[in-house]
Structure 1
Amino acid sequence: MVLPARLCLAAVGAALSGVEPAVVLHQVAGTFFDTALLMEVKERYANASYPGLSTEESQQKAMSDFYMTYHLIIRLTPIVPALILARLGDRCRGWRRATVAAPLCGYLLFRVALLLLLVFRLPLPFMFGATVLYELFGGHCTFWSGVMTVTALRSTARERAKAIMRVELLYGLAGLLGSLASGHLFLVKTVGWAEGTVLLALSILLELLGFLHSIFLLKMKQTEAKETSLGEVDGGEEEEGEEERRILLIPPSSKDVPADTPADAPARVMWVNVVLLFVAAALYDAAVVGAVELLAVFVIKEPLSWSATQVGYGDAAGCTIFLTSFLGVLLFRRCLNEVLLIMLGMASFASGIYFMSYVTATYMFYLARSLNMFALIPLPTIRSLLSKQVPASACGTTFTALQLSLKFAGLAYVPAFTKIYQNSLAWFPGLVFTLSSALTVLAMIPISVVGCRLPRTPQYEPL
């Protein structure tokens, strides 16, 4: 009985020392916060008035303007802090934890800011200043890249892909559970406090626990290369620089490479394929983000007119896409190549978001979201395909360039989608979703060209 107890304690200790608890706590806290913010914005702009617009159209315009400014700040502010924290994490020993802890500290302050706004009835633009403050701590860009780096450093090369997919899956499941609970918790009232106060208090508590976990429990232990494959290791530990060289996909020496390792990285940059993949990623990101960011405002208006509970259920439906996309990759990766996987995900999103254009009832919304079940497959797969079009030593730079290009593109398409939505409210509110579907179809064109340019994979194994 002593041995199983020790094994259980060891397993619990290993789980608590990983980054997964911080990810789960942060995601649940985030779903609570998003529901509280949306309902507060809806309440503040309930009596908005614009010349020539009805009360509901005025509310929709005011809410979409708020979220447009909010998302532009989120995209623009964290670029420099993210680069600084990433460089410190790579160059300075002991700073790797900062890429997870610093953004969580910013998120914690942001949650507190909304609670102060709710309790003291501060003006809503106060949240713009709070957004700038929390993004100066690195924001989601730094947090997620830090999570991926910590996950990679804590896993062996053979188990790394599975470890990263496990974190993605936990992130989606945490969002699902948090969204289901958020609407009900929003309605919980306490004497003398407004609706949403309890929900925000729980969000702050969970974020605080995640921050404390990243400071005191998160271990930055790197895997030691003691795997004897092809006479590779004499028994000593690898240096930190060697491990990080592997994380960055810099080609190892021939003695470190198993005989059956495929040589996916070319000797030079395949510029045409890289440009086509960048274009496809930018178009698809514009289609997804431009539509989904307005979806929260769309469900508030008639004919849906969702309550806080229904908003939570809708967010949960979006989070299930993490699970279905993960299962889709597991199911189809053996029979479809990466190009066809990307096309499958894009077709899934294009069909679902086009159906969303004509949604007039709640059940139709869930039918449209069910068509999006593989919508998260394209961008990660594009990154995987992109890594095979450049030398291994240039993968990090290429991924950073892609992420920055998507951020800067957002500065153009977020206002564009918002203005189109506002100007089409009276005659076709779903126009932005139709436009999003059309952009997704356009994104499939460069992917198809890349598929034609890639060499055919042989269906046999060389002797």
Structure 2
Amino acid sequence: MVVKDRSVNASYPNASQPTEESQQKFISDFYMIYYLILQVAPILPAVLLAKMGDRGWRKAPIVVPLFGYFQCSLTLLLVVLFNLPMEVMFGAGTIFGLSGSFCAFWSGVMTVTSVGCTADDRSKVLMRVELLYGLVGVAANLVSGHLFLLCSSSLGRGTVQLAVSALMFVFCFIHVVVLLQVKEIKQEPEEICPALSNDPGVRVEAPAGTNKVNMVLLFAAAVLYGTANYGSMDLQGTFVMKEPLNWNATQLGYGNAASSVIFFTSFLGVVVFRRCVSEIVIILIGMVSFASGMIFMSFVKATYMFYIARFLNMFELIPLPTIRSLLSQQVPASSCGITLTSLQVSLKVAGLAYIPAFTKIYQKTLSWFPGFIFTLSATLTVLAMIPISIIGCRSAQNHQNVTIRRKWWKRHQPHTST
């Protein structure tokens, strides 16, 4: 919303364009540069913080990014208070990225959660963390638009909201440093790998060592789905601020709250579906949910249609946490942090391509089909389903082979007499 306010008085190189289209290009160009900074800067710091975490400093990947969050929020507050140029945020974004940003923070949270629970409960526990994150997001977004509009003659729009945000980061930092307890469950080398079983009630022997083929397929699916999800969602805020929706700060907050509800519905989906289907099928359900919602979003012309599209997306958050769960079960606990961070870094590297690509495609199609980027994300989601389906076929074949080996072993066991 701050960028939108600044775009009103911004002069765009192509002055012949309509005012709204010019503003849309200003906003999308600003965020293209800002998001690219956030993709590049955290790569090395996130890896270093992950290694520190695996060596026993589990809080490091959480504490350091929180400082980056605080300074970024504080810098934006100063931009609003003193009417500083928006380009100042590029510097704040760089510092935020060098602190590890969300890449290190969320991987650190997921690692602390993963090492504190058993492999059988890991996907449910990870999704529970996503649920809590989403519930808080619902409450925050419902009030954020109202907080943004609170101002006086001496304060600009957004100052109250940004001050509250900075204060909450301080509280979060204190909580992690003082109160958070990291408890690791020592697990023996597992003889089973229920995550890749085709039957949710059957436990299948895991191959000796890491299954590199499955890991490559999981990484490919995560990158494709992350590209589809993040690429379109990064531009959703820009999309709803233009005609015909033309949302204000309060409506934008409500829309973000509706998106946060998806954390809750995705959690319920994991709890219900894991009782009757494998995690591979659960991932596919989430991807189908996202693809169908994006197809509908492509043709949104009114606010109620936006909420219908988000309803169809009710399980969109299931795939990535479940993929993280599967990856964490393919490596020993000592390598869990670096594996999850490597996945997050892969998503960051992919962002170097999809952020400018989605932005330029959005600008090129703005006049004739602004929802084209959502159709594109649905197509990429369908492609992401291919490697997941291959893993499902491989696990079914492995399950069949294990069953045959067990029957052969029992048949050829020597009979002993008492």
TM-score by length of 1: 0.78
SS in 1 for 2:396: coil
For 2:65 and 2:78, the matched residues in 1 are separated by 20
Aligned to 1:235: none
The answer as to whether partners of 1:282 and 1:406 remain within 8 angstroms in 2 is yes
Deviation, 1:446, is 2.3
Q: What SS class does the counterpart of residue 258 from structure 2 fall into?
A: helix
> Cα–Cα, structure 1 residues 392 and 122, in superposed 2: closer, same or farther, change >3 Å?
closer
**1:82-121 Cα distance to aligned partner (Å, 9 max, x none):** 22222223325xx433322221111111111001000100
Q: Which moved more, 1:346-355 or 1:132-141?
A: 132-141
Change (3 A) 1:274 1:218: closer
For the structure 1 residues 79 and 360, does the alpha-carbon distance in structure 2 shift closer, same or farther, using more than 3 Å as the test? same
Q: Residue 89 of structure 1 aligns with which residue?
A: 53
Q: 1:412 to 1:383 in 2, by over 3 A?
A: same
| Alignment partner of 1:334 is 2:298 | no
Shift of the alpha carbon at 1:261? 11
Mapping 1:35-114, distance limit 5 Å: 39-48=1-10, 49-51=12-14, 52-91=16-55, 95-114=57-76
- Verify the 8 A CA contact 1:321 1:376 in the aligned structure 2: yes
Asked whether the equivalents of residues 103 and 345 of structure 2 are also in contact (C-alpha less than 8 Å), the reply is no
Amino acid at match of 2:321: P
Cα distance in 1, alignment partners of residues 306 and 146 from structure 2: 20
Amino acid at match of 2:189: P
Deviation at 1:358, TM superposition (A): 0.6
Indicate how the Cα distance of structure 1 residues 182 and 400 shifts in structure 2: closer, same or farther if over 3 A, else same. closer
Q: CA shift at 1:339, angstroms?
A: 2.0
Q: Which residue of 1 aligns with 2:144?
A: 182
User: d(CA) in 1 for partners of 2:126 and 2:161?
Assistant: 30
Give, in whole Å, the separation in 1 of the partners of 2:225 and 2:272.
Answer: 23
SS in 2 for 1:454: helix
Residue correspondence of structure 1 range 170-319 to structure 2 within 5 A: 170-220=132-182, 222=183, 246=187, 251=189, 262=203, 265-319=206-260
Counterparts of 2:249 and 2:157, CA distance in 1 = 10
Shift of 1:218: 2.8
Superposed displacement of residue 149, structure 1 = 3.4
- The residue aligned with 1:356 is 297
CA distance in 1, matches of 2:339, 2:121: 24
Question: Which residue of the other structure, out of 366, 374, 377, is the alignment partner of 2:315?
Answer: 374
- Structure 2 CA distance for partners of 1:398 and 1:205, relative to 1, 3 Å: closer
* Displacement of 1:145: 2.3
Distance 1:387 1:105, change over 3 A: closer
- 1:320 and 2:261 equivalent? yes
CA distance in 2, matches of 1:357, 1:263: 42
Cα distance between partner residues in 2 of 1:356 and 1:277: 27
Tell me the matched-pair count: 394
Q: Which is further off, 80-89 or 365-374? A: 80-89
Residue identity opposite 2:395 in structure 1: L
Following superposition, the deviation at residue 308 of structure 1 comes to 0.2
Q: What residue number does 2:198 align with? A: none
Q: Distance in 2 between matches of 1:253 and 1:116?
A: 56
**Alpha-carbon distance, 1:309 to partner:** 0.2
In structure 1, what is the Cα distance between the partners aligned to 2:30 and 2:277? Answer: 42
CA contact (8 A) 1:73 1:132 kept: yes
The equivalences for 1:367-406 within 5 A come to 367-387=308-328, 398-406=339-347
2-structure distance, mates of 1:445, 1:89: 33
* Structure 2 residue 95 is the aligned partner of structure 1 residue 133: yes
**Distance in 2 (alpha carbons) for counterparts of 1:58 and 1:90:** 48
% identical aligned pairs = 56
- Aligned counterparts of 1:117 and 1:297: Cα–Cα separation in 2: 21
* Structure 1 contact 265–387 (Cα < 8 Å) conserved: no
* Letter paired with 1:68: M
CA distance in 2: counterparts of 1:88 and 1:360, whole angstroms = 49
Residues 417, 432 of structure 1: 8 Å contact kept:
yes
Give ranges in structure 1 of 5+ residues lacking alignment: 1-38, 224-242, 255-259
Q: CA deviation at 1:393?
A: 7.3
2:197 aligns to what?
Answer: none
TM-score, length-scaled by structure 2: 0.86
Question: Residues of 2 paired with 1:374 and 1:387: CA distance?
Answer: 21
Whether 1:453 and 2:398 are equivalent positions in the alignment is no
Deviates more, 1:95-104 or 1:431-440: 95-104
After superposition, the Cα gap between the structure-2 partners of 1:121 and 1:353, relative to the gap in structure 1 and judged at 3 Å, is: same
Alignment of structure 1 residues 141-156 onto 2, 5 Å: 141-152=103-114
How much does 1:311 deviate?
0.3
1:123-156 CA distance string (max 9 Å, x none):
0000000111122222112222222333455567
Deviations 1:439-458 (A, max 9, x none): 11121222222222222558
The root-mean-square deviation of aligned C-alpha atoms, in Å, is 2.9
CA distance in 2, matches of 1:263, 1:116: 57
Tell me the CA shift for residue 296 of structure 1. 0.7
- Distance (whole Å) between structure 2 residues aligned to residue 455 and residue 393 of structure 1: 29
- CA–CA distance in 1 between the matches of 2:338 and 2:86? 39
**Paired residue type of 2:84:** L
Give 3-state SS (helix, strand or coil) of 1:455's partner. helix
